Structure 1
Amino acid sequence: MLRKEYFRLLVLGIISILSGFVTSGVAVANINDQVAQLDFATTTLSGIVTIFGEPLKYFRGSEIFTKDNLPSIYYMQYPNGFSIVMANGHINELRFESASTGYLFKGEIQIGSPLTSVLSVVGQPTQTITGQQCGWQDGILYKDINGTVGYCYYLRSDENVRFFFTSYKVIAIYLTGNTVSPPVPAMKEFDDVRSMDLSGMNLAGRNGLIETLTFNIETIWPAAARMPADCEPNELMAAAMNPGLGIREIHGRGITGAGVNVAIIDQPMYLDHPEYTGKIAAYYDTGCGGEQSSMHGPAVTSLLVGKNCGTAPGANVYFAAVPSWKQDAAYYANALNWIVAQNKALPASSKIRVVSVSAAPSGSGSPYLYNNQMWNDAVALAAADNILVLDCSSNHGFIGACWLDPNDREDVTKCVSGFPGSSSLPNLEDVLTPSSARTTAQHYDYQGRNSYIYWGRGGLSWSIPYCAGVLAMGWQIRPELTADEMVEILFSSAYTNANGAKIIDPQKFISSLTPATPEEIAVSKIRQAIAEKQKALEAIDNARQGEQTACDAVKELFAGGKSSMKKVDIIIAMQKIHSAVQHLEQSADALRKSIEKLKDALRTLGFEP
C-alpha cells in the first residue's frame, strides 16, 4: 500500500493551507456514476481526466507539480474533499473526505455514517484493539486510538475500502484498488517521513540517521532488529519536547511566564490540544476562509506556551489566525492592529508584551506579494504601544537559528549555528535561537485528534516563539522593563561562540534580571508617567490641529459671503471655537509643566529623565 501519509493529508484543510484552495466548476453530483466507470487496474491519468475533468492541482505534501512533470507517487485534488492517489501510473486510492462529495459506499455508507452501520455493511472485525496506537492491519478495528474516544480505523481489503472515524462517525472513506506497493525510496538524512509506513525498511547500522528526520507519532517504524541501535524514535520525540538550555530548571523555580500576556500571528488552529488548551485568551480569524487548523499554528503555539514543549508554559496567548497562503501582508497588519486594540483595553498590569510572528511580511526576500508597507506601519504602531514584535523579516527581525546537541540539550556551548546539514553562515548581528531537534504539537486533521511531530531540521519559524517565551519569562520577573530594555539584556546575556555568533542563553538572561529594587521601581513608575503624559500631549496637539481646521472653515463662511447663515451666528461660533482652542492650549501647557516637574523629580533622585 502507498506510504501511509494518512493523517498528515487526511483533511483538505491542511492541503489548502499549504498551497491555497481554489474553487472549481467540476461537477461531483454524479460522483457515484463517475466512480463506477473506473477500473483500478487499467484506468490511467488520461482516463481519470476524461471522467472527472482536470483536478485543481497535482501535488504531494507541499510540492505542486505540472501535468507533464509528475513523480511516481502524487495526488490529484478535486473540489469538495475528493482526491485521487496515483502510484506508478495507476490509481492507488480514491479518497472521500467530505459529505459534500455525495459518495455512497455500497449505496449506504457516507461521510457521517455511524460505526455500527459500517460494521453491518462490511462485516465485523476479526479483532478489536482499543486505546492503543493504530497498527493499520487488515480486518482489525482500531478503536479509541491512543486513548482518543471515538477515533477509529478499519481496513477491509476484501471490500477494497478503508474507513476513518471520529466520534464513532465516518470522516473519510478511502477506496483501494491497486494493492501493489510503490517502491520505498532509500532513506536519506533530513527526510520527512511523517505518517509513512517504514516497516519494510532496514535501517540497522545507520546510527545518527533518526535524529535528522522529521517524523510524527503516526510514522510506522521497522522492527527493533532493523533499526539503528543508537536511537529510539519515541524516546527522541519525548526528549525533544524539552526546550533545553536550562529552561526546565528555570521553570522549576516558578519562572514560567506566569501572568504575562503574549500574542501569536500564525495560521489557524484548533484550541484543544493538551499542550495549550485553556491558554488562549482570545482568538481572531482575519479571513482564513473556513480553514480551522494547520501544521504551523499548533507548532508555534506549543513552542511558546506548550505544557511540555514551551519556553513560557505559564503565559497567556492572544492568537490571530492569518491565511499565509494568500501571500498578502494586509492580513498580518490586520492581525497586529487587532492585538494593539486588545492591548489598549487591558489594565496596565496585564499588557501584551511580545508578539511571535513566524513569517516575513515585509523586507527583502519576503514571500508576501502585497501590502508589505501595511505590515511596517502596523509594527510601528505596536512599538509605540511598547509591544515587541518578533518576526523573520530582514528589516525588523533580529533572531537567527541554531540547533541543540541531541545528546546534551542543556549546554549552550554545544549549540551549533544555523541549520543541520546546511553550510549557511549566521548573521553575527542576530541572537541565534534553537529551531532544530525539537518536538511540536500536531493538530491539523480534525478537532480532538492530537499528536506530535519531531523536527530533525526545523526552520526559523521555530526560533521565533522560543525567543518570545524566554522574553515572557523575563517580564514575569521584571514587568516594569520596556521592550527595548528587555532586548538589550537578551543580547548582552547571550553566549558568544568562537565564530562570534551570539546564542541565546536563558540561564544567564534570567540571572541578569535581578528583582527590581524599590528605587528602580519608583524611577520606572515616574518614567512611565512621563511617557503617558507625552502621549497625551501628542493627542492634544493633533486635536488642536483639528480645531484650527474647524475655525478656518467657519471663517471661510464669514469671508465668502455665500452662506445662508446669519453673520452674527457665524461670529459667535468662531468665538466659541477660539475659546475651545485656548482651553486646549492651556491643557497642553499644564501637561508640559507636569512633565517637567516629573523630570525634575528624576534629576533630584539622581537619574536622567
Structure 2
Amino acid sequence: MKAKFRPALCLLLVLLAGCAPPPAGGLEAGSRELPSSGDLRGADLRGLDLTGMEEALFSADFDTCTRWPEDLPGGFDPAALLEEGKNPGLGLRALHQRGITGKGVGIAIIDQTLLTEHQEYADRLTALNETLPEGERIRVISMSVGWMPEDRGAAELEAAVARARAAGVAVVCVNSRDPLLEPWMGMGRRRYGSYDNRADLRPGAFWEELLYSGEFRGTDGPLLLVPMDRRTTASPAGEDAYTCFPEGGMSWVCPYVAGLYALACQVRPEVTYEEFLDAAQATARPVSVWKDEKTEYPYGKAVDPAALVEALAA
C-alpha cells in the first residue's frame, strides 16, 4: 500500500497518475501524420497541419505539455476537453460542496507512480510507513494494477487481499475474479458532454460494439455504471500538469468505486461494502442509447451518488 488520502476524495481518477512520462520532442514540420500510438503527451505539434484530423485528435491522449499549432480543426478544443475531464460527474461536485467528501475515511491506493507534489493532492497525501492514528484505519483499498493466477507472487497477493477483507477492509481490484468489482462497469459520454447530464451518457468505448452485437453482459440492466472515458488526470509531467485520456478501462473504475464507498462510510461509518452495493443498486437509474435512431439499447444503470448517500444516511 503506497498512500493514504485524508480526506478521501471521490475524484480519485484525477488523483491517480496512472500514465507513463510524456514523450519529448517535436514532429517534422508540415507533417500530415500523427504518431501511430495516438499518444500526444508532451508532443510539439506546432509545425503540423492538422486540417481534417479531428477524429484522430479526439482519439488521442494529450496533456497540458502538448504544444498545439495556432490553427486547430474546427470543433477540436483541447482546453475544453481537459477542463471537463476534471469533473467527476454524477453530481459529485454538488455533494462535495455539501461537505460529503469522504472526510476522515482512510483510503489506500495501489497503482502506478504518483508525483507526490502535484497540486491536486499534495496536501492530502500521507505515506503508510507512518503509524496511523487510532480510529483512522483503512476502510477501502483501490488496486488498479491487476495480476494473473500464474504470475509470480499471485498466491501471496491473493492471501493478503483475503486477510484485508477478513479484517473489514474493502479491496476493489482489477481482476476478472474480483467479486467486489464484478457488479461494476465504466461508461463514456459525449465529447463535450458532461457526466452530470444523463442525456450525455454513452456506452464505454472498449465495449460499445459488444453492446450492439448482443454480447455485452449489461444488456439486462444489472451492471452499475460509473464514469470511465474522457477523463483528465493529474500528470507526472509537473506539479500543475494534467493529461486527458479519451478512453479508459476497468482500472479507472476501481478508484471511482472506492471513492463512492468512502462517501458511504462518511455518512454511515458502520456501513459494509455489501450494504453500500445494495444501496447503489437500489438507487441507480437505467440508461440506454439509440443506434441510428431506430433501436434502443439498454446497457445498465448509472449510479446516483446523491440518492445513494441519502439512502444510507436515512
Q: TM-score range, shorter-chain basis?
A: 0.7 to 0.9
1:306-345 alignment to 2 at 5 Å? none
Deviations 1:525-570 (Å, cap 9, x if unpaired)?
xxxxxxxxxxxxxxxxxxxxxxxxxxxxxxxxxxxxxxxxxxxxxx
Aligned partner letter, 1:378: A
Query: Secondary structure of 1:439's partner?
Result: strand
Give, in whole Å, the separation in 2 of the partners of 1:203 and 1:455.
19
Q: 1:265 to 1:454 in 2, by over 3 A?
A: same
Match of 1:414 in 2: 200
Match of 2:277 in 1: 487
Instruction: Please tell me whether Structure 1 or Structure 2 has the larger radius of gyration of its CA atoms.
Output: 1
Give, in whole Å, the separation in 2 of the partners of 1:422 and 1:262.
31
**Residue 211 of structure 1 contacts residue 236 of structure 1 at CA under 8 Å; is this kept in 2?**
no
Match of 1:246 in 2: 91
**Residue 420 of structure 1 contacts residue 436 of structure 1 at CA under 8 Å; is this kept in 2?**
no
Match of 1:508 in 2: 307
Query: Secondary structure of 2:313's partner?
Result: coil
Q: 1:383 to 1:412 in 2, by over 3 A?
A: farther
Give, in whole Å, the separation in 2 of the partners of 1:208 and 1:407.
17
Query: Secondary structure of 1:395's partner?
Result: coil
Aligned partner letter, 1:481: V
Give, in whole Å, the separation in 2 of the partners of 1:491 and 1:401.
15
Match of 2:78 in 1: 233
Shift of 1:427: 3.7
Alignment match of 2:287 (pick from 497, 511, 517): 497
Q: 1:412 to 1:378 in 2, by over 3 A?
A: farther
Shift of 1:209: 5.4
Higher relative contact order (CA 8 A, sep 6+): 2
Give, in whole Å, the separation in 2 of the partners of 1:208 and 1:509.
37
Match of 2:66 in 1: 219
Match of 1:351 in 2: 137
Give, in whole Å, the separation in 2 of the partners of 1:236 and 1:453.
10
**Residue 29 of structure 2 contacts residue 48 of structure 2 at CA under 8 Å; is this kept in 1?**
no
**Residue 45 of structure 2 contacts residue 69 of structure 2 at CA under 8 Å; is this kept in 1?**
yes
**Residue 433 of structure 1 contacts residue 503 of structure 1 at CA under 8 Å; is this kept in 2?**
yes
For normalisation by structure 2, the TM-score amounts to: 0.76
Query: Secondary structure of 1:436's partner?
Result: coil
For normalisation by structure 1, the TM-score amounts to: 0.41
Alignment match of 2:228 (pick from 422, 431, 435): 435
Q: 1:384 to 1:506 in 2, by over 3 A?
A: same
Aligned partner letter, 1:419: A
Shift of 1:432: 2.6
Identity of aligned pairs, percent?
29
Alignment match of 1:474 (pick from 246, 250, 264): 264
Deviates more, 1:264-273 or 1:197-206: 197-206
Give, in whole Å, the separation in 1 of the partners of 2:59 and 2:233.
15
Shift of 1:212: 3.0
Shift of 1:269: 2.5
Query: Secondary structure of 1:278's partner?
Result: helix
Shift of 1:408: 3.0
**Residue 412 of structure 1 contacts residue 495 of structure 1 at CA under 8 Å; is this kept in 2?**
no
Is 1:278–2:123 an aligned residue pair? yes
1:95-174 alignment to 2 at 5 Å? none
**Residue 208 of structure 1 contacts residue 230 of structure 1 at CA under 8 Å; is this kept in 2?**
no
Is 1:460–2:253 an aligned residue pair? no
Give, in whole Å, the separation in 2 of the partners of 1:188 and 1:490.
41
Give, in whole Å, the separation in 1 of the partners of 2:109 and 2:34.
35
Aligned partner letter, 1:228: P
Aligned partner letter, 1:454: C
Give, in whole Å, the separation in 2 of the partners of 1:514 and 1:190.
47
Unaligned runs of 5+ in 2: 1-16, 289-297
Give, in whole Å, the separation in 2 of the partners of 1:246 and 1:418.
19
Query: Secondary structure of 2:225's partner?
Result: strand
**Residue 362 of structure 1 contacts residue 395 of structure 1 at CA under 8 Å; is this kept in 2?**
no
Shift of 1:430: 4.0
**Residue 401 of structure 1 contacts residue 432 of structure 1 at CA under 8 Å; is this kept in 2?**
yes
Give, in whole Å, the separation in 1 of the partners of 2:37 and 2:287.
25
Is 1:401–2:183 an aligned residue pair? no
Match of 1:378 in 2: 160
Unaligned runs of 5+ in 1: 1-13, 19-59, 62-84, 86-92, 94-135, 137-179, 285-317, 319-341, 516-609
Is 1:262–2:107 an aligned residue pair? yes
1:53-68 alignment to 2 at 5 Å? none
Shift of 1:454: 0.6
Shift of 1:243: 1.0
Deviations 1:352-405 (Å, cap 9, x if unpaired)?
111111022245xxxx72122222211211111111111110111323221133
1:521-540 alignment to 2 at 5 Å? none
Q: Considering fraction of residues, name the structure with more helix.
A: 1
Shift of 1:198: 1.7
Shift of 1:223: 1.1
Moved over 6 A (4+): none
Aligned partner letter, 1:414: D
CA RMSD, Structure 1 to Structure 2 (Å): 3.2
Give, in whole Å, the separation in 2 of the partners of 1:184 and 1:432.
40
Give, in whole Å, the separation in 1 of the partners of 2:31 and 2:44.
9
Match of 2:41 in 1: 194
1:567-606 alignment to 2 at 5 Å? none
Q: 1:375 to 1:182 in 2, by over 3 A?
A: farther
Give, in whole Å, the separation in 1 of the partners of 2:159 and 2:273.
18
